[in-house]
Amino acid sequence: MALLVVVGAPVGLLALLISASVVLDLFAHRSLTPGTPARSLSPEELLACNRAVRDLLDRLVDETAGLERSTLAGEAHDLGAEWDAFAVRWQTDWEDTGARCGFGELEGTGLGAAYDRMAWVHRNLPTTRLKFRELVAHFSRDVGVDVGEMRDALEKSRAGLTPPGLGKSQ
């Protein structure tokens, strides 16, 4: 019986605290209470949000392609560090866009399917960023190394094929 009191009391207290936390979170901390209309965005603001979300997506694609292209061109740099620097700036812009456009707050509130599609893209961009990060890491580990080794082998091959006195400029 004493063991039941020693174990049961803390477990019961913990359950009570968790229940109170859930109730407070559901009812006391709502940013929009029933009857309070959500803020709305003008058509111009909605188009600006669409451009901002598209820009975020395009920047992910362009940064990934640019890093890979520069590596294939033989430029030596730390892909991971460059990607991480880009990702910090991108994350800030993603958060600013979300706040400005009300993503999370206004999705599904009647602004229409076009807004909800845009919010869906915005919500999924961080996952896409992580996938691109993994792609860059894979490229850096495997493909970039392979291409570098192939370039070195071709340079050595050319040097071995070049008759003495013709130089390396041909």
CB atoms within 10 A of CB 94: 21
Q: How confident is the model at residue 120 (pLDDT cuts 50, 70, 90)?
A: very high
| DSSP letters for 34-96 | TTPPPP---HHHHHHHHHHHHHHHHHHHHHHHHHHHHHHTT----HHHHHHHHHHHHHHHHHH
- Between these two residues, 10 and 130, which has the higher pLDDT value? 130
Closest CA to 60 of 120, 127, 143, 123: 127
Q: How confident is the model at residue 31 (pLDDT cuts 50, 70, 90)?
A: very low
Long-range contacts of 76-81 (CB under 8 A, 24+ apart): 79/136, 79/137, 79/139, 79/140, 79/144, 80/136, 80/137, 80/140
Q: How confident is the model at residue 101 (pLDDT cuts 50, 70, 90)?
A: very high
Q: Reduce the DSSP state of residue 121 to 3 states and report it.
A: helix
Residue 163 DSSP label: P
Task: Evaluate whether 39 touches 106 at the Cβ level (below 8 Å).
Answer: yes
The region, left, alpha or beta by phi > 0 then psi within -120 to 50, assigned to residue 42 is beta
Task: Compute the distance between CA of residue 125 and CA of residue 90 in angstroms, rounded to an integer.
Answer: 10
* Domain residue ranges of the chain, discontinuous segments joined by +: 39-161
Does the pTM surpass 0.75? The reply is no
The mean pLDDT of the chain is: 77
Question: Token pair for residue 44?
Answer: 């111009």
pLDDT above 50 for 106: yes
